[in-house]
Amino acid sequence: MNIPDLNGKTALVTGASRGIGKAIAVALAKAGAHVLALARTSGALEELDDEIKAAGGNASLIPMDLIEGDNIERLAGALTERFEKLDILVLNAAILGELAPLPDIDPKVWKQTLDLNVTANWRLLRALDPILRKSDSGHVMFLTSAVGGEYARAFWGAYAVSKAALEMLAETYAEETKKSSLHISIVNPGATRTDMRALAMPGEDPMTLPAPEELTPMIYEALADKRTELKRYSFRQWRENGN
Protein backbone atom coordinates (compact mmCIF):
# COMPACT_ATOMS: atom_id res chain seq x y z
CA MET A 1 0.00 0.00 0.00
CA ASN A 2 1.43 3.34 -1.07
CA ILE A 3 0.82 5.91 1.66
CA PRO A 4 0.86 9.52 0.45
CA ASP A 5 2.85 12.09 2.39
CA LEU A 6 0.22 14.35 3.94
CA ASN A 7 2.49 16.01 6.49
CA GLY A 8 1.59 19.68 6.74
CA LYS A 9 -1.82 19.08 5.16
CA THR A 10 -5.14 19.91 6.79
CA ALA A 11 -8.12 17.64 6.08
CA LEU A 12 -11.77 18.10 7.05
CA VAL A 13 -13.82 14.88 7.16
CA THR A 14 -17.58 15.04 7.73
CA GLY A 15 -19.41 12.13 9.29
CA ALA A 16 -16.08 11.18 10.83
CA SER A 17 -17.21 9.46 14.02
CA ARG A 18 -18.02 6.03 12.60
CA GLY A 19 -17.99 3.77 9.57
CA ILE A 20 -16.39 4.97 6.35
CA GLY A 21 -15.83 8.51 7.62
CA LYS A 22 -13.94 7.22 10.65
CA ALA A 23 -11.80 4.91 8.50
CA ILE A 24 -10.91 7.79 6.17
CA ALA A 25 -10.12 10.11 9.09
CA VAL A 26 -7.76 7.54 10.61
CA ALA A 27 -6.13 6.87 7.23
CA LEU A 28 -5.49 10.58 6.64
CA ALA A 29 -4.05 11.00 10.13
CA LYS A 30 -1.74 8.01 9.65
CA ALA A 31 -0.49 9.66 6.45
CA GLY A 32 0.43 12.77 8.42
CA ALA A 33 -2.54 15.10 7.91
CA HIS A 34 -4.01 17.20 10.67
CA VAL A 35 -7.56 15.84 10.62
CA LEU A 36 -10.54 18.03 11.42
CA ALA A 37 -13.08 15.39 12.39
CA LEU A 38 -16.68 16.57 12.17
CA ALA A 39 -19.72 14.65 13.43
CA ARG A 40 -22.76 15.12 15.65
CA THR A 41 -21.75 12.67 18.39
CA SER A 42 -19.09 13.93 20.80
CA GLY A 43 -18.50 10.57 22.47
CA ALA A 44 -17.76 8.79 19.21
CA LEU A 45 -15.48 11.64 18.15
CA GLU A 46 -13.50 11.26 21.36
CA GLU A 47 -13.06 7.55 20.64
CA LEU A 48 -11.81 8.47 17.17
CA ASP A 49 -9.38 10.96 18.70
CA ASP A 50 -8.00 8.24 20.98
CA GLU A 51 -7.47 5.95 17.98
CA ILE A 52 -5.76 8.66 15.96
CA LYS A 53 -3.47 9.60 18.86
CA ALA A 54 -2.60 5.93 19.42
CA ALA A 55 -1.52 5.78 15.78
CA GLY A 56 0.68 8.85 16.23
CA GLY A 57 -1.68 11.19 14.41
CA ASN A 58 -3.22 14.56 15.16
CA ALA A 59 -6.88 15.57 15.11
CA SER A 60 -9.19 18.40 16.08
CA LEU A 61 -12.76 17.45 16.96
CA ILE A 62 -15.78 19.36 15.65
CA PRO A 63 -19.04 18.17 17.23
CA MET A 64 -21.61 19.82 14.98
CA ASP A 65 -24.91 19.32 13.17
CA LEU A 66 -24.41 20.36 9.55
CA ILE A 67 -28.05 21.25 8.95
CA GLU A 68 -28.61 23.34 12.05
CA GLY A 69 -28.72 27.10 11.63
CA ASP A 70 -25.61 28.82 10.32
CA ASN A 71 -23.20 26.21 11.71
CA ILE A 72 -21.46 25.75 8.36
CA GLU A 73 -20.82 29.43 7.82
CA ARG A 74 -19.51 29.85 11.37
CA LEU A 75 -17.29 26.80 10.89
CA ALA A 76 -15.85 28.28 7.71
CA GLY A 77 -15.11 31.52 9.51
CA ALA A 78 -13.30 29.69 12.31
CA LEU A 79 -11.26 27.56 9.90
CA THR A 80 -10.33 30.58 7.80
CA GLU A 81 -9.12 32.38 10.92
CA ARG A 82 -7.12 29.42 12.23
CA PHE A 83 -5.71 27.87 9.05
CA GLU A 84 -4.21 29.45 5.98
CA LYS A 85 -5.68 26.79 3.72
CA LEU A 86 -7.69 23.59 3.58
CA ASP A 87 -6.00 20.82 1.61
CA ILE A 88 -8.55 17.99 1.74
CA LEU A 89 -12.33 18.03 2.14
CA VAL A 90 -14.07 14.65 2.46
CA LEU A 91 -17.85 15.00 2.07
CA ASN A 92 -19.03 11.82 3.72
CA ALA A 93 -21.83 12.75 6.15
CA ALA A 94 -25.18 11.35 5.04
CA ILE A 95 -28.37 9.75 6.29
CA LEU A 96 -30.37 6.94 4.73
CA GLY A 97 -33.73 8.59 5.17
CA GLU A 98 -36.87 6.50 4.87
CA LEU A 99 -36.99 3.28 2.84
CA ALA A 100 -40.53 3.49 1.48
CA PRO A 101 -42.46 3.94 -1.78
CA LEU A 102 -42.10 7.49 -3.06
CA PRO A 103 -45.75 8.44 -2.34
CA ASP A 104 -45.37 7.23 1.25
CA ILE A 105 -42.20 9.07 2.26
CA ASP A 106 -42.75 11.61 5.02
CA PRO A 107 -42.08 15.09 3.54
CA LYS A 108 -40.11 16.04 6.65
CA VAL A 109 -37.84 13.01 6.21
CA TRP A 110 -37.43 13.77 2.50
CA LYS A 111 -36.38 17.33 3.30
CA GLN A 112 -34.01 16.24 6.05
CA THR A 113 -32.35 13.71 3.72
CA LEU A 114 -31.84 16.25 0.95
CA ASP A 115 -30.78 18.95 3.42
CA LEU A 116 -27.91 16.85 4.77
CA ASN A 117 -26.93 14.75 1.76
CA VAL A 118 -27.05 17.56 -0.80
CA THR A 119 -27.62 21.07 0.49
CA ALA A 120 -25.16 20.86 3.38
CA ASN A 121 -22.46 19.74 0.95
CA TRP A 122 -23.20 22.65 -1.37
CA ARG A 123 -23.04 25.01 1.60
CA LEU A 124 -19.70 23.51 2.64
CA LEU A 125 -18.31 24.03 -0.87
CA ARG A 126 -19.66 27.57 -0.94
CA ALA A 127 -18.19 28.45 2.44
CA LEU A 128 -14.85 26.63 2.14
CA ASP A 129 -14.04 27.29 -1.52
CA PRO A 130 -11.77 30.27 -0.74
CA ILE A 131 -9.46 28.31 1.59
CA LEU A 132 -9.57 25.20 -0.61
CA ARG A 133 -8.24 27.28 -3.49
CA LYS A 134 -5.34 28.46 -1.32
CA SER A 135 -3.96 24.91 -1.24
CA ASP A 136 -1.32 24.19 -3.86
CA SER A 137 -2.99 20.84 -4.57
CA GLY A 138 -6.36 20.68 -2.82
CA HIS A 139 -8.70 17.71 -3.05
CA VAL A 140 -12.46 17.47 -2.56
CA MET A 141 -13.78 13.90 -2.24
CA PHE A 142 -17.50 13.13 -2.55
CA LEU A 143 -18.77 9.82 -1.14
CA THR A 144 -21.58 8.37 -3.25
CA SER A 145 -23.56 5.16 -3.78
CA ALA A 146 -24.45 2.95 -6.73
CA VAL A 147 -28.11 3.91 -6.29
CA GLY A 148 -27.09 7.49 -7.05
CA GLY A 149 -26.43 6.80 -10.71
CA GLU A 150 -25.66 3.21 -11.64
CA TYR A 151 -29.17 1.83 -11.11
CA ALA A 152 -32.51 2.54 -9.45
CA ARG A 153 -33.71 0.58 -6.44
CA ALA A 154 -37.33 0.54 -5.27
CA PHE A 155 -38.01 2.22 -1.92
CA TRP A 156 -34.62 3.97 -1.81
CA GLY A 157 -36.01 7.16 -3.38
CA ALA A 158 -34.87 9.86 -0.96
CA TYR A 159 -31.35 8.49 -0.54
CA ALA A 160 -30.95 7.68 -4.25
CA VAL A 161 -32.13 11.11 -5.37
CA SER A 162 -29.79 12.76 -2.87
CA LYS A 163 -26.77 10.81 -4.11
CA ALA A 164 -27.62 11.47 -7.76
CA ALA A 165 -27.79 15.17 -6.94
CA LEU A 166 -24.51 14.93 -5.02
CA GLU A 167 -22.77 13.42 -8.04
CA MET A 168 -23.98 16.26 -10.27
CA LEU A 169 -22.83 18.72 -7.63
CA ALA A 170 -19.38 17.12 -7.82
CA GLU A 171 -19.35 17.14 -11.63
CA THR A 172 -20.38 20.79 -11.74
CA TYR A 173 -17.76 21.80 -9.17
CA ALA A 174 -15.12 19.87 -11.12
CA GLU A 175 -16.00 21.82 -14.26
CA GLU A 176 -15.88 25.11 -12.41
CA THR A 177 -12.49 24.38 -10.82
CA LYS A 178 -10.70 22.55 -13.65
CA LYS A 179 -8.37 25.51 -14.26
CA SER A 180 -7.47 25.71 -10.58
CA SER A 181 -5.17 23.61 -8.40
CA LEU A 182 -8.12 21.65 -6.98
CA HIS A 183 -8.72 17.95 -7.64
CA ILE A 184 -12.22 16.49 -7.44
CA SER A 185 -13.11 12.84 -6.96
CA ILE A 186 -16.28 10.78 -6.54
CA VAL A 187 -15.79 7.63 -4.47
CA ASN A 188 -18.31 4.78 -4.39
CA PRO A 189 -17.40 2.45 -1.52
CA GLY A 190 -20.10 -0.07 -2.38
CA ALA A 191 -21.69 -2.36 0.19
CA THR A 192 -19.61 -1.93 3.34
CA ARG A 193 -19.89 -3.11 6.93
CA THR A 194 -21.47 0.03 8.42
CA ASP A 195 -24.38 0.94 10.66
CA MET A 196 -26.22 2.47 7.70
CA ARG A 197 -25.88 -0.74 5.69
CA ALA A 198 -27.17 -2.76 8.64
CA LEU A 199 -30.16 -0.44 8.91
CA ALA A 200 -30.93 -0.79 5.20
CA MET A 201 -30.29 -4.54 5.00
CA PRO A 202 -31.16 -6.01 8.43
CA GLY A 203 -31.14 -9.61 7.20
CA GLU A 204 -27.68 -9.41 5.66
CA ASP A 205 -24.65 -11.00 7.32
CA PRO A 206 -22.30 -8.04 7.86
CA MET A 207 -19.28 -10.33 7.94
CA THR A 208 -19.77 -10.98 4.22
CA LEU A 209 -19.02 -7.30 3.56
CA PRO A 210 -15.67 -5.50 3.53
CA ALA A 211 -14.85 -3.44 6.60
CA PRO A 212 -14.52 0.33 6.07
CA GLU A 213 -10.78 0.10 6.72
CA GLU A 214 -10.38 -2.00 3.57
CA LEU A 215 -11.09 1.15 1.54
CA THR A 216 -7.89 2.80 2.78
CA PRO A 217 -5.57 1.82 -0.12
CA MET A 218 -8.11 3.10 -2.66
CA ILE A 219 -8.56 6.34 -0.73
CA TYR A 220 -4.80 6.85 -0.75
CA GLU A 221 -4.72 6.15 -4.49
CA ALA A 222 -7.49 8.67 -5.13
CA LEU A 223 -5.65 11.35 -3.16
CA ALA A 224 -2.44 10.68 -5.07
CA ASP A 225 -4.23 10.86 -8.44
CA LYS A 226 -3.27 14.22 -9.92
CA ARG A 227 -5.25 14.01 -13.16
CA THR A 228 -6.95 17.32 -13.81
CA GLU A 229 -10.30 15.83 -14.82
CA LEU A 230 -12.95 14.53 -12.43
CA LYS A 231 -11.85 11.20 -10.97
CA ARG A 232 -14.25 8.34 -10.19
CA TYR A 233 -13.37 5.43 -7.92
CA SER A 234 -15.55 2.37 -7.29
CA PHE A 235 -14.30 -0.09 -4.67
CA ARG A 236 -15.90 -3.03 -6.49
CA GLN A 237 -14.19 -2.14 -9.78
CA TRP A 238 -10.95 -1.31 -7.99
CA ARG A 239 -10.85 -4.81 -6.49
CA GLU A 240 -11.85 -6.41 -9.79
CA ASN A 241 -8.82 -4.71 -11.32
CA GLY A 242 -6.60 -6.74 -9.02
CA ASN A 243 -6.00 -4.27 -6.23
Active site residues: 159
For residue 237, what is the enclosing H or E element? helix 235-240
Kindly give, in sequence order, each residue whose CB lies less than 8 Å from that of residue 6, ignoring residues fewer than 6 positions away: 28, 31, 32, 33, 87, 88, 223
Contact status, residue 194 vs residue 212, Cβ threshold 8 Å? yes
Contact status, residue 144 vs residue 151, Cβ threshold 8 Å? no
The DSSP code sequence of 17-71 is TSHHHHHHHHHHHHTT-EEEEEES-HHHHHHHHHHHHHTT-EEEEEE--TTSTTH
